[in-house]
Structure formats: C-alpha cells, structure tokens
Amino acid sequence: MIKLLTYVIERVMIVDDDPTDLYILNRILKKNNFAKIITQFSSPEKALQHLLSNHKKNFFFPQMIFLDINMPLMNGFEFLNEFNKIPENIIRNTKVIILSSTCDPRDFDKMKAYPNSLMFFEKPLKSEDLDLISTIL
Amino acid sequence: MVNPNTNIFLLENALDNLLEGFQIISPEWKYLYVNKSVIKQSKCNSKEDLIGFTMMEKFPGIENTKLFKVLSRCMLKGNSKYFENKFDFPDGTQGWFELRIEPIPQGLFILSIDITERKQAEKEIEIKSADLLKANAELDRFVYSVAHDLRSPLTSILGLLSFIEQDDNEFEKIKHLNLIKSRIEKMDEFIKNVLSYSKNNRIEVKVQNISIRKEIDDKLNIYKNLLESNMIDIQLEIDQSVPFYCDHTRFSMIIENLISNAIKYHDPKKSNRYIKIKGNADINVVNLIFEDNGIGIPYKHQDKIFKMFYRVSNQIPGSGLGLFIVKETLEKLGGKIWVDSIPKIKTSFNCEIRNYLS
C-alpha cells in the first residue's frame, strides 16, 4: 500500500545564520512532514533578495518564514522591516515565526511592533511547537 | 558713652569679615556700599573700584542679563528675591552665586554667596551619573548578548540530542555527536574570549622584556597545521634592534588574535595566499602590521569591526568579540589599532604599541 504524504503547508522559508541551526530546523520540519518545499538561507539579505525577485516574477510566496533574530549584518528585525515593504497583498498570507535563543526583554518588546511576527519560539523547535503552529494556520 | 563712630567701625569690621558678600545698590544702580567679600567675588581690587560707579560702568552689558531683569523688578516693585545666578565676568570666566535681594529705602540690599565650587562639583556628579547610566546600559546589553551567545550552542545541542534519542541510525548518530562536539568547542572558545576581555579590564599591566620575533614564531607554531592545510605562505619582516617592554599576556593575546583572523578570513579562491607580518621597534613605540590577501572587509563595515559583538560574516564563525578585545587591550597598553582593507583584495591591521622601555 502506498502511503500518501500529506504536508501541513506547501512552502516554508528558514532564515538563520547558523548552519547547525538551519540543519536542525530543516530536519524537524521534514520529520514532521510540515512542509513540502523548504528553502534555507543563512544570509537574511539573500533571503530577502530571493523573496523580492520571486514576487516580481509572481512566484509562489512561502506561507511561513522561520526567522532568527541575532544574525550578523542584518538581524531579524531589520529583515522584517525590509520584508514589510513588499506589497501587502503579496505578504498577507505569510506568517512569520521567530525562533531564537534571545533572553533580552528589548527583543520581546520589538517583536510586539510587528503584526506579522505571529509567534515566538525558543530554540530548538520541538514537535509540540509545530502542533501549536498548525492550529493558527 | 560710646562714640557712635566706634559703632560704625565695629559694624563695618564685622561686615568685612563676613563670608557672604554684602552690597547696597542705589536706584540709579550705583554701588553705595560693598563689603570685602563683594570685592573678592567681583574680582576687584578695592572698595574704591566699585563705590560710586554704576553696575553698567563696572560690568558693561549687565543691563542685558537675566540678573539685571530680576534686580529691576525688585527695585521697581519692592520685591524680595532669592535665587542662584551664573555670572559672566568681563575676563571671560564664570562664577555661580547664591543671591538674596531685599528692597531697602536706599535701593537694594544684596547678599551673595560664592557657590562656584559647589556648582562645579554638581556638574561633575551629573557627568559621572550620566557615565554610570551609560555603563549600566552597556553592561545590560553585554549580559543579554553573552546570555544569548552562551545559550545558542546549548539550544543547538538540545536539538541534536533529541535527534540522537529518536534515531537508531548509527551513521546519523555519529554525525550529530560531531555537531555537538563542534558546538561545545564554539562555546568554550566564547567563554575564553569573555574571560580574556574581563582579564584585560581587571589585571594590572605587568611589563617584561619581549622578543617580537619569538612571540610571533610561537603563535605561528600553534597555527602551523592550519597554515599548511590552507597553503598560506608566511612572510616575516621583523626589525627589532632595541629592547621591547610590554605586558606579555596581553601582547601575546593581541598577535594570536590577529594571526588567527588572518587565517580565518583567507580567500580560498586565491592561489598565492599569504600573511605578511611587519614589525619595527624604537624606544618609544612598536609598530606591527598584519597583512593578508584574504577576502577583505566591505567598506561599510570597516569602522564597525572593533565594536563589541559586531560580526561581518555569517559564513565564518565568530563571537564578535575578538577584535573588540584586541582594541580594548591595545588601548590598555597605550596603543591603538586601525584597519586598511580593500574588499576581496587585502586587509592590513596596523598596531601601534607603547614600548615601556622609555
């Protein structure tokens, strides 16, 4: 009997400067059949370029972005500032999940300022977290 | 019967011995009476310098000051007033005075206390508390950054451990164990960096005679394998004809950091990779240049690379502390560091270190 794989969502993007953390999250998402297509970026600037060029080509946008905060050159918030400049109708259906090991209260304050940063999870993401994320889709 | 003149003499004598300035000003702004303290406070030589003159004659421009406005109002309405005033002397200096102004039939009576020193002390306290606030904010930032950088390898390790728990595949297990190991090494490196930052702040500078050549050779020896495997050529031009006195631990930390950076940021695309270390010493300073033809530093980041926790690359691991500590340490040693870099072509770190010989 052929077991049909069903995914929670189609497309997910991961942005994290740390290659080990990219690997860990990618593996968790795969093990839980969370997304059909996972694109990974260790550079937020490249992730942004990818999104910008794709939206002009009218490509399918990821439905979810897992975003780290502490990254060199461009941090998660700077990424979000640029991301939010993309027209509303394109980013409307993209949920941003912040995934970090920060404990700085200022980071939590900043997160509140972003309407599309829907949820915050502490690293490492667990299977239970994915269940919770699924409920808000 | 007491001679009334004796009474006046006694009174004047008492007034002259007051620490407070005591003066009477006529409605025409003439000095009618001043005691010795007023002479001192107004930087005059004698009572005759003031008495009979108007305020405007002695302090041109006083009619445009806030002080004069207050005095005019007191004179006109017969008000009393108590306040602190900053006074600009004709010689350009400034003084602070606590003033009590009372209307009297002859005009105004002004009691003045020189509070310049107190004001200066207050100003110093203000500056110091601002510094403290800044230091506190920096410490706060430091604590959260350190906490994050300590937690991040731990959270990766937790993630990897959960894989090992769930996985039966031996090959995957070993792969994950190796990743854990590298995270632990990263964490250890970070803790060492934080400690060397703190050491630099707390431990006194202890100078001893140092051979620059030997120190550099020792450090190159530590990185021998890395240099060979990355095929990086070493060129040394060390010219030390005078003894060099410096703090050994700090000096060695500085050169180790700069050498390891030059290796870390080598350009794998280039075939003739090199690190050139130039050094020369005179009795006052030692100049060291660490030049490499590595990946270089983009111009927009060059002024920020010495900042705490600043990282330029996400491809090359680092805590963002190395160059910050190097800069802090050099400053502690009475030296400085600056960078010249052409992105993708070359980078040179220039150090100037005080020679404690002199």
- Asked if A101 lies within 8 A of B313 by C-beta distance, the reply is no
Render A38-96 in DSSP notation, one character per residue.
EEEES-HHHHHHHHHHHHHTTPPPPSEEEE-S--SSS-HHHHHHHHTTS-HHHHTT-EE
A–B: how many Cβ contacts below 8 A?
A: 66
pLDDT in tens, B162-185: 999 988 799 999 999 999 999 999
Say how many CA atoms lie within 13 Å of B282 toward its Cβ. 3
Q: Provide the greatest CA pair distance for chain A.
A: 53
The reply to whether B101 touches chain A by the CB within 8 Å rule is: no
Which chain B residues are closer than 8 Å to A43 by Cβ? 314
Residue B223 region, left (φ>0) first, then alpha (ψ -120 to 50), else beta? Answer: alpha
What is chain A's pLDDT, residue by residue, as a tens digit (137 residues)?
A: 555 678 889 999 999 999 999 999 999 999 999 999 999 999 999 999 999 887 766 567 899 999 999 888 889 999 999 999 988 888 888 899 999 998 888 898 888 888 765 789 999 999 999 999 988 77
Tokens read off for B255:
């050169």
With beta carbons under 8 A apart, name residues in chain B contacting A124.
Answer: 155-156, 158-159, 162
Contact residues on chain B for A14, CB-CB shorter than 8 A: none
CATH number assigned to the domain with residue range A9-135, chosen from the 4 options 3.30.70.20, 3.40.50.2300, 3.20.20.70, 3.20.20.150? 3.40.50.2300
Per-residue pLDDT tens, chain B, 358 aa: give them: 556 678 888 888 899 999 999 999 999 999 999 999 999 999 999 999 999 999 999 999 999 999 999 999 999 999 999 999 999 998 999 999 999 999 999 999 999 999 999 999 999 999 999 989 988 988 888 888 889 989 999 999 999 999 999 887 999 999 999 999 999 998 998 898 888 888 888 889 999 999 999 999 999 998 998 899 899 999 999 999 999 999 999 999 999 999 999 998 999 999 899 999 999 999 999 999 999 999 999 998 899 999 888 887 766 767 788 899 999 999 999 999 999 999 999 999 999 999 998 8
Q: Where in chain B is the domain with CATH 3.30.565.10?
A: 204-358
Between 3.40.50.11900, 3.30.450.20, 3.40.47.10, 3.40.50.2300, what CATH number should domain B4-114 receive?
3.30.450.20
The residues of chain B that CATH labels 3.30.450.20 are 4-114
CATH class of the domain comprising B116-202 = mainly alpha
What's at B11, amino acid-wise? L
Residues of B in contact with A42 (CB under 8 A): 314-315
B12: left (phi over 0), alpha (psi -120 to 50) or beta: alpha
- Tell me the pLDDT tens digit for each residue of B184-240: 998 998 898 888 888 888 889 999 999 999 999 999 998 998 899 899 999 999 999
In chain A, domain spans: 9-135
Is the Cβ pair B314, A24 closer than 8 Å?
no
Predicted confidence at residue B251, as pLDDT, reads 94
Residues 176 to 235 of B: which have CB under 8 A from any A CB? 179, 182-183
Q: What CATH number has the domain spanning B204-358?
A: 3.30.565.10
Q: Quote ipTM for the complex.
A: 0.89
Residue B149 to residue B156: CA distance in whole angstroms? 11
CB-based contacts of B153, cutoff 8 Å, min separation 6: B183, B184, B186, B187, B190
Contacts of B272 by beta carbon, 8 Å cutoff, 6+ apart:
B233, B293
State the pLDDT at residue B163.
Answer: 94
Q: What is the pLDDT of residue A2?
A: 57
Specify the 3-state DSSP secondary structure of B144. helix
